[in-house]
Structure formats: C-alpha cells, structure tokens
Structure 1
Amino acid sequence: MSVVLSIPAAVIASRITSDKDAKAGTGAASASPVRTPTGEPLKVTKLTMVPRRLDHSWVMAHPVDPAALVRLNANVDKVGGALADEADPVMRAAGAVEPTLSTVEIEAEGNRPKVVRITGIRAVTQCRKPLNGTYFYNPPQGASDNVQLGFDLDSPSPFAQKVKPDSNDGPPHFYGDYFADRKYTLNHEDQVTFRLSARTYKSYCEYRYRFDLIVDGKADTQFIPREGERPLQITADIRTGSERFGLVDCNAYQRFYMGKVFVAGTADLAGLPSWNTPTPGNGPCE
C-alpha cells in the first residue's frame, strides 16, 4: 500500500519565503556597503595662495591712473596696508600679479579604494612677454620667503626641484629633481600638503601643476587647478642689466608707484597711502 502525503500549498510557500528571508538577513548582517569614491584620483580639499611676508611688489597688465589709484589705496588701507597679508587678495582682485616668485599651498587626499601614488609634479605653462602696465614697488629687505618645492618656468619643461637659500639673501636656488628619491603613497582619505613655488625672470606665465600618478597600477595625470578653472599667474619684472640681480627698470612701465616705506624725505609716513607716485630723488630710477 502506498501512502501519499498531502501538504497544503500555503505551507510550502510559507517555508520558501522563510528560507529566503533567512538568507537575506544573514547576507545583510555579514556584508557592509562599500562606497566607491567618485571624481579625480586626488581630492583637492584646499588651494591657498601663500602670502608673501617679505616681498610686497605687484605688477598689472594695464596702467592704473591716479583716480583708480585712490580707490585701490582705499581698499588696501582698509585691510591694514600693503604689508598686510589681507592686502594680497585685494591686489589680486584688482588684477595684480606677483613678480618673479609665486607660491601656492595644495592640500589633497587619496580618492580611490586602492592606493594613489604621486610620482612627480610638473608645471604646464603658457608664457609671453612680461607685463608692463603698472609696477607697484615694495621689494624685500632681507632673505626671500621660505620655499619648499621650486619650479623654474623659464625652463622648457619645469619640474619639481629641491631648493636651498642664497647665502647673500638673494633669490633661492633650485636644483636637482625633488621626486628622484621621493614618492607619495596615499590610501583612501590619506592627506598630503605641498607648498609649490613658481619662478620666472623672463616672462608672464599662466600655468597649472600637473601631478603624475599611478592609479590602479596605471599611469594617470591630474591638473591643479583643473582645466576650465582660472590658471595661476606670475610675471617677471623688467630689470636693467641682469635679469636675476639687476634693478627694476621703472621706465619700462606705463605707470610706476612706490610703497610708502620707500618714499624718502617724508616725515609722516603714517599719513601716506600704501602706494604713492615717486618724486625726483626717492625712486629707483633717479
């Protein structure tokens, strides 16, 4: 005699559903969600123009007439004068560019699940004749500001170089290849900070820094600032004689103004605006 067991369909369906729920519950408990970072291999968290604590000269492409100078002085003096760090963004907003040396600090972090390796940094430039509209003369009195990585924009292919100070308080010397014996390996969200200084004695340049990377075992590059964003800027100042050590040629500019600390023969410097028209006997072109 054969016996046929009859199991209601509802019971079977209930058991199948319970098994699926159990498996789903086990999987959810054992696996954590994995986020894949989006965007570029390096996430730039901050890009800062480093204030120049010693050299406070500036150059503009266009001539600044006396009326425009009054307005500029009002804005500069409002933030503490031409020697204040807060004056730098005011001058840049008016169209001024740093002469000879410009420094930027870049803070970034790894933005991939696997490591990102930084193998080199280069400057990619577009250069032409130096600006000659207006020179704001307020040169350094002593050693140059601290430089960590140097880029010679007068070179056909500027790369990150080591830096050493000049023994006579002149411009710093760039030498060697900074990345020849250094590589930076960043895990996801690992952070790194670079202080990069560009220099030119010959040209006005717009430039970006190109980071050479190894990402997922493959060569890659990333530009800072990005393509489409405003590039960094720097200009050579026009000098008499040696490009490196000659005097600024104020006759080469359409307008020339001096910082008040260089206006000789004035008893009350405090009463002067930050920038002044030179008079005979107190300018660099006597």
Structure 2
Amino acid sequence: MSKIIVFGASGQLGHCLKKVAADEQITDIYFPVEGEANILDEPALEALFEKNKPQFCINCAAYTAVDKAEEDMHTARKVNADGAANLAKLCKAHGATLVHVSTDFVFEGNTPYPLTEADAANPINVYGLTKLEGEHAIAEVLPEHYTLRTSWLYSEFGNNFVKTMLRLGAERDELRIIADQVGTPTYAIDLAKCILDIIAADNKQYGIYHYSNEGVTSWYDFAQAIFDISKTQVKVYPIRTAEYPTPAIRPTYSVMDKAKVRSTFNIQIPYWRHSLETCIKRLSEQQ
C-alpha cells in the first residue's frame, strides 16, 4: 500500500479509516492531528507534504453543519472549497493523488431516478453549494483525483443519525420523523473500505464516483429500522418536511447510482440494512 495521509482524521470517517486500516493491517498510512493538518494553513500543509512525501491524500475534512452553513457561508466555503483547493495544489506540486469526499447534496434532488455522475449538479443549500465549489476547485488544478460523493453517513463514531435515534428512542415514548425525503444511508466503515480499495487498485481512472450503501429508504423508514434492529420500544410517526422546517432545504430524492464505482474498481457494496445491523451490533458491544 502506498504512503497515505488522511486529513480530517479526527472526524467520523477519519476514525473509520483508522479502524479499517488497522483491521486490514495497512501501516503505511498517517493520521495527523488537527493542528498539524489544518487544510486552511498552507505553510503547515507544505511542511507536512515535505516531511511525509505522500503518494495519496484522503480529504475527510469538511464543514458539515448543513443548517448552520446557511448563516455562515464564509466558513463553510473556506473549509469546503478553499481547503479542498489547497490540498489539490499541494498534491499537484508533490505528485500525489487526492481522494476527496463530497456529498449527494450537490444535487437538487427532484428526479425520480438514481443519480449518475453525469447528471447535472444543482445544489439547493449552502452546504451543497460549497461542496460543489470544492469539487470544481480540485478538478481545475489536479487531474489526478478521485471524488467520492456519499450520503447519510453513520457509524459507531462521532455524532450521526443512528446514534441520535438510539439515544432519543431510549429517552422518549414517541418520535416524529420525516418520511418524504428519500436517499440511502451509508455505513462510514463501508465507505472507508471503498476508499482504501480504490487506492490499492491505483488504476488511474480519475474523476467523480458515487458511493453509498445499496437500496433506498426514507428517514422515517431508516429510523424504524434502527429501532427494529436494536429492539427499542418507541412509537415512530411519519411527518412531511413542511412539518419540520429547517434553515437549509434538503433534496427530496438523492439516491445515487453506484454502477460506475462497482464496475471500475470491482467494489462489492452492501445493502444498507445489512450494514446497519453490523453497526448496531458493534454499538451494543461497546456498552
């Protein structure tokens, strides 16, 4: 395995990459602390590249507070667009390949079919806009990149929908969950495996790829599955988006087509509910 640096190592996906790397005995991978690898600090990045001379960089660093981004576009853009551009420039200068993580939120989400990489991006919130700007900034300066768009990330690590539902399900008798936003949950461990498999393949078929778990669900059905699998007794009622207004508008349908990543890298993608079962089992073992 080539020498790899992971940016955003303290976040959810960074922790999942650590676990997968350990499980697969990948040792030539470096997870710098945040102060050493701030993607907005170009001198620090230059020093990191000079010291480690990586062949691959994985960018998990992102501003992901979707609602907060609506009132803090400046910070979201600095991290999601400018930070991505900084890494692309450093990778180009040092001959490294960048693996960048993006989002289904680059799409408007009003189509009735799974979205391919060729479909036009048209974000409807600031988070999605700044992530798309990051994609464009990378593509402008660095041909040698893989951009992986993903959706609805969760895992044993960090804050996410699965852990929130398990907590609320234990605290409350009933919950109301949005049922008219449809997409696909993604177990961040599966995404981490996909990223490391792409790096191991090193087939140089650069560009944008979609990766989520297989299948389609709503937030309501996702929550119901969490409670069914964990045997949590709580009543769950479906509601419409209009009944739970948020500062940021979300895509109504953002299911992504994964045919390209499957065929290009021979990636086996698990069904979302199977991966959810694995995650909940691991969470229960931690208690």
TM above 0.5, yes or no, is: no
**Greater share of strand:** 1
**Greater share of helix:** 2
Category of TM-score, reference length = shorter chain: under 0.3
Give 1 or 2 for the bigger CA radius of gyration. 1
TM-score (norm 2): 0.23
TM-score (norm 1): 0.23
